[in-house]
Amino acid sequence: MAKVDEISDDERYMRRCLELASRAEGQTSPNPLVGCVVLDKNGLQVGQGYHARAGESHAEVYALDMAGEAAKGGTLYCSLEPCCHHGRTPPCSDRVIKSGVSRVVIGLGDPNPKVDGGGIKALRDAGIEVECGLLEKECRFQNRAFLKAITKSMPWVSLKMAVTLDGRIADREGHSQWITGEGARDHVMLLRSQSDAIMIGAATALADNASLTVRLAPADVIPPECSQNPDFERIPPAKVLLDPTLSLPPDARLFDPLPQECRTIIFCLDDQQWLDRAPSAYPSHVEVMPVARAEAEGGSLELAACLRELHKRRINRVICEGGGRLAGQLLAGGLVDELYWFVAPKILGDSQARPSVAGEAHRRLADIANYRVVAHTVFGPDILIHALVNEP
């Protein structure tokens, strides 16, 4: 009798594909995360790779380059359907066919209209045995940001909060450092590194003088043994500031110059009085983007419009670290896809302390939905609840 925890070789190698793909989280947008493993005809692994960045070789190319002639008659595992169109790189389906593999196992079909089953068809037409759908749920989850970007032209939005047991994110004076401990704060750095952009509101930026940087060593993100290129430098996530009236001063830490690849985007109201001051007020690396005023929120920005603009800028995944008012607006607008909720074993016990979600809607318990908890993790005294609001 097989053991309960025994898995097939196919599943084992697909999980390796997922592991490889995860090394590039936060680096591939607007492209997906993809990992690939190649076995020879005797079932021995002879190649592996992952897509590291848009414009660079795809996972299949890295894996087949490593495998060389040993790929002939073997099996290729890939977490996403090989592409079949010319973009910045040639079609991966052509390369897979030329490699001589006899079998391909795919985790998830690519919904990109330029692919959408075309890669699978090309492989089958070439006489290659193709299986698709292995660990599809896990593959969808890993590429949840890409899938939303392709199907809805909007980035995937993660809302991160650090709260006390009574749901407060700061005391009544606005002091929030530090609710959680060092372990939880280190994990937030990892979450930032896995995102394309970090979004914050003007009030939080002013209160914390936030820099929105990723304070992690490269080895903390990509282990040396998994790096395909020793000279590979990670692109830092873009900084996104929601500042309707351009209230954050130009000398704030958020505007400090960083590597050229790091973008800083400010969304403000499209009133002429703010646009007149923008060109000379901020450093040259800062982009000021005017958007419409939200009809129901007075002087607030139309948040959905901000997110659509981020999608146009090839940003697939956003982590929001704003305050309770911004969290309330995002949730009320149905714009949050997942939660990273850090809970510290502390109680402020002050009704005037800042709430984690400051919404205006009148709701009853019967009106609200349960979110699906993906994981709960302990960091010293703190607990992280990771929950999905929307399924990928």
Write out the catalytic residue numbers: 60
List the structure tokens of 387.
């929950």
Contact 233, 27 (CB under 8 A): no
Eight-class DSSP state of 68: G
Alpha carbon distance 55, 33 (integer Å): 13
Residue of 372, 376, 378, 374 lying closest to 390 (CA atoms)? 372
Exposed, middle or buried: residue 111 (CB in 10 Å: 0-12, 13-18, 19+)? Answer: middle
User: Cis omega before residue 178 (within 30°)?
Assistant: yes
Report the C-alpha dihedral over residues 288, 293, 299, 300, rounded to 10 degrees: -70
- Return left, alpha or beta for 322; rule: phi > 0 is left, psi -120 to 50 is alpha, else beta: beta
Alpha carbon distance 284, 282 (integer Å): 6
The DSSP H or E segment spanning 318 is strand 317-320
Alpha carbon distance 98, 92 (integer Å): 10
Residue of 250, 242, 182 lying closest to 215 (CA atoms)? 182
Contact 333, 165 (CB under 8 A): no
Beta pairing class for 45-50 and 75-78: unpaired
The DSSP H or E segment spanning 156 is strand 156-163
User: Cis omega before residue 259 (within 30°)?
Assistant: no
The residues pairing with 379 across neighbouring beta strands, listed in sequence order, are 382
Exposed, middle or buried: residue 256 (CB in 10 Å: 0-12, 13-18, 19+)? Answer: middle
Alpha carbon distance 44, 50 (integer Å): 19
The DSSP H or E segment spanning 304 is helix 303-312
